[in-house]
Structure 1
Amino acid sequence: MGNAALLRCLGSPGSLLATVVLLSMVLDSAWLLTQEQQDLPTVKPNASLNVKFDPQTTKLTWDCRENASSGECVLIHKEKGPIKKKVKDSECQCTFQDYSLHGGVTLTVEVHVNQRRLSEMLVYTNPGREGTAAQNFSCVIYDADFMNCSWAKGRAAPDDVQYFLYIRSKKRIERECPRYLKDSGTHVGCHLQDLSGLTSYNYFLVNGTSQETGIQFFDSVLLLKEIEQYNPPDNITVQCNESHCLIRWEKPRTRQPWPNREFQYQLDIQRRRDTSSGRSQLIVVFGDSGNRYNFPKPGSKAKHTVKIRTADARKAHWGAWSQPVEFGSEETGSSLVHIYVLVVLGTLVCGLTLGCLFKRFLKSHRLFPPVPQIKDKLNDNHQVDHEETQEREDHPEERMATHSRVLT
């Protein structure tokens, strides 16, 4: 094609100039885009940080690089989500606080070297055969000084599996269970009589061994306040007047001396004769009320019983009931029955006493009869004559009749 034909295709000289300008703008945009891409942080294919994670210390480490500036560590937990920690300059590690790791976690490291970003990800999984870890793990503190932990054998664990419990405090002090509870030779629990050294929250790890296969571990972070089962309150007293009965108690002894507001109480008040009928009043009283409750005194003045148990103010994990404490008086009907019984018994006792005294008097009368007296004939005759004279004076008719008989 000749030059003339090319010019005809491009059009007039003005059109040619516009085309040249448009082409120049497109080339400039492409060059700028290339420069921006070159300025973005990139990661070289061979720029590995060699990230490592130690579950024993929850420490994440990586290879240090020259001119490394601040960065960030991230632990992605399946339940708690992303947990981030800042990395200071020239530091090549970060330590996370204790979290449960038996479900696996994902960890990432991001640092800046020479104004370029380097990042790497590490997936940590629970080693061992699936289903071999201990299950149904739980712990409870009781009587303020003792703790029991228990677990069950994993559903896929071999027969020769053996489990071991380790407890690590917040201060990173670790100890093994001092006394295991066994089932057919396998450790399925732990009893601790010394809780000294434990902090507010602690890390519990149950790992296992077997000659047949690898055993997965189970771990958990427990707050001691949440697993403590409180004793019943101390010194329960009841004082009644004409209108109400004031029930008082003292907070129980716990592992830590918590204030009153950290407790709640449940009162079970029953009529003493209706304890088997299930008719009771369950009343919840919080500790900030002063550990007291005013119970309206019933009109019948029936005797009642009260027992109390304790729980944490934020979690209704109730402990054991206290011994029942009686208050009030017996019902009127039962009081009358008691009075009748006392009257009858008193009458019987008095009758028996009088009978015994009378019988004793008769017996003493037979043993000691009265002594006969010497008869005074002179005084007796004089007394008889005196009586006859007096009788005649009292009856003159008889005296006249007697005189007539004498004359005749």
Structure 2
Amino acid sequence: MFDTLGHICMTWWCMMLFQPLHADIQCTGSQESTFRNVKMNWEKKELSWETSKNFTIYNCNLMAKGMGIVQIEANSPLCTFPVEQYIPLHKGLLFTIEVPNTNISESCTFIPGGMNGSAIENFSCVIYNVSLMNCTWQAGRNQAGWNAPADTQYFLYWQNSRGNNLTECELYIKDENGRNTGCRFKNVKIKNDKAYFRVDGSSKHSSIQLYDEYIKLYKIEILTPPLNVTVNCTKAPEGCLITWKPPHTSHLGMTNCFQYEISIQSKSVVISFQGTGGTGRTYMEMEDVTLTFQEGPSKDEPKKNPPVKVRTERYKYQNYNEKNIYILRIRARGNACFVSSNWGEWSEHVEFGEGKDHSIFVILFLIALGTIAVTLLQYFLFKRYCSFKSIFTPIPKPRNKLNASTYEDIQTEYVNLPKKPCMEEITMVEEMT
């Protein structure tokens, strides 16, 4: 039996390599006319056929690329495979029908039709804000680098669970050429089953290969931030109790399915300045109340506290100092249940702490005292080595001729003409009458 399956597998891979442009189910049997009209109901996962002979037991085998062999035993010309088998079609399928204890068997292959490389690539979806989902893809490209025909248009269909019908996207995302490259969904509900996505294509020049994929929706969800984050701090003993509620989801009512990451950092101030040595930075850490000056380029940042991970909706912060100001953020990811294991979005910043520190006032006082001392020093140096007369030159008064003596022949007038600071030059002028 296994030799037969091995031969069938080799045949199947060769057919996959040299597939025709259009194909459905092709069968080859050990005896002609034993099994006819072989069909596969993709939604119900039912394999059916017609036979000219009645047998009591049939063995059905299903194999897909990248999967193991699924074996089913039936007592009629109908094999129903388990519904939990999520088998994508675009990779091709292999069926075998056998009658036990005989050499009667039939092997059938399903190979999607279409031009090689015309199916979409890089298909991905993400759920955000609880019920919104975006799916995106790129136009197909074969191994030689040829794109799908320019007029190719793609259409997305999806099925949230097995009980639902395939529905087409209602809001496509288009590129600059008008080609559909994504889809936006609203009111998406996450269920335990895998969702089925299928992207078909159409072109006037050639047939386009389909692409399909099964995705567990909870794995692609970006969790919202935890809700109602509160901080209650006490002085005796010093500490803060942090509480919150789980992030909102569309499919969970339990609270023990999450792990939380808590980030608490001291608030810092960063001042950038330009100096002769390049760009520098000044950090003022509220926790240590120290000033660090750096000259020249530097990528050093204030030291951060490592985040803390917990599995409950409360945390006791012990390193609280009321003189400091702290910044709190929390995010979540799935720890169990059907929740994404990727970290979700951070909550908004929550500040706590009084931030009272008298050292700041001491620093400001010392700066003011130093400014006064420098000013007084400059004043005494100036008074010692410079004269105020050199700065404020006296203005000579006009001569009063009414009160001057008639017999006075000579009047001497002194004029101060400053040339250089801290020096005086005297010029004598005689007037002859």
TM superposition score normalised by structure 2: 0.61
- Corresponding residue of 2:173: 181
Letter paired with 2:54: N
2:92·2:110 contact (CA, 8 Å) conserved in 1?
yes
The alpha carbon displacement at 1:174 in A equals 1.6
In structure 2, do the counterparts of structure 1 residues 308 and 337 end up closer, same or farther at CA, with 3 Å as the change threshold?
Answer: farther
2:321·2:353 contact (CA, 8 Å) conserved in 1?
no
- Corresponding residue of 1:325: 350
Residue 70 (1) aligns with residue 57 (2) = yes
- Choose 1 or 2 for highest CA Rg: 1
In structure 2, do the counterparts of structure 1 residues 101 and 143 end up closer, same or farther at CA, with 3 Å as the change threshold?
Answer: same
Letter paired with 2:94: T
Give percent identity, aligned residues only.
Answer: 32
Residue 230 (1) aligns with residue 215 (2) = no
Q: How far does the alpha carbon of each residue in 1:253-302 deviate from its partner, in whole angstroms, 9 at most, with x for none?
A: 10112422321222221111168936333435343xx2112222245742
Cα distance in 1 for residues equivalent to 2:35 and 2:306? 63
Q: 2:303 aligns with which of 255, 267, 279?
A: 279
Structure number having the greater helix percentage: 1
Q: 1:148 aligns with which of 134, 139, 143?
A: 134
Cα distance in 1 for residues equivalent to 2:77 and 2:362? 88
Letter paired with 2:59: E
2:33·2:51 contact (CA, 8 Å) conserved in 1?
no
Residue 295 (1) aligns with residue 282 (2) = no
In structure 2, do the counterparts of structure 1 residues 53 and 200 end up closer, same or farther at CA, with 3 Å as the change threshold?
Answer: closer
- Corresponding residue of 2:90: 102
Q: How far does the alpha carbon of each residue in 1:15-59 deviate from its partner, in whole angstroms, 9 at most, with x for none?
A: xxxxxxxxxxxxxxxxxxxxxxxxxxxx96325313333446543
Residue 215 (1) aligns with residue 202 (2) = no
Q: 2:115 aligns with which of 129, 146, 171?
A: 129
1:170·1:199 contact (CA, 8 Å) conserved in 2?
no
Q: How far does the alpha carbon of each residue in 1:194-248 deviate from its partner, in whole angstroms, 9 at most, with x for none?
A: 3259663211101111111111111111111111111000000111223322211
Letter paired with 1:167: W
Cα distance in 2 for residues equivalent to 1:180 and 1:172? 21
Across the aligned residues of Structure 1 and Structure 2, the Cα RMSD in angstroms comes to 2.9
3-state SS in 1 of match to 2:260: strand
Q: Which moved more, 1:119-128 or 1:201-210?
A: 119-128
- Corresponding residue of 2:72: 85
Q: Which moved more, 1:46-55 or 1:101-110?
A: 46-55
2:72·2:79 contact (CA, 8 Å) conserved in 1?
no
Give the alignment of 1:222-371 within 5 angstroms. Answer: 222-241=215-234, 242-273=237-268, 277=301, 279-287=303-311, 290-298=312-320, 301-313=323-335, 316-330=341-355, 332-333=357-358, 336=361
3-state SS in 2 of match to 1:226: helix
1:111·1:119 contact (CA, 8 Å) conserved in 2?
yes
The alpha carbon displacement at 1:165 in A equals 0.7
2:30·2:106 contact (CA, 8 Å) conserved in 1?
no
The alpha carbon displacement at 1:65 in A equals 5.0
The answer for unaligned runs of 5 or more in structure 1 is: 1-42, 342-408
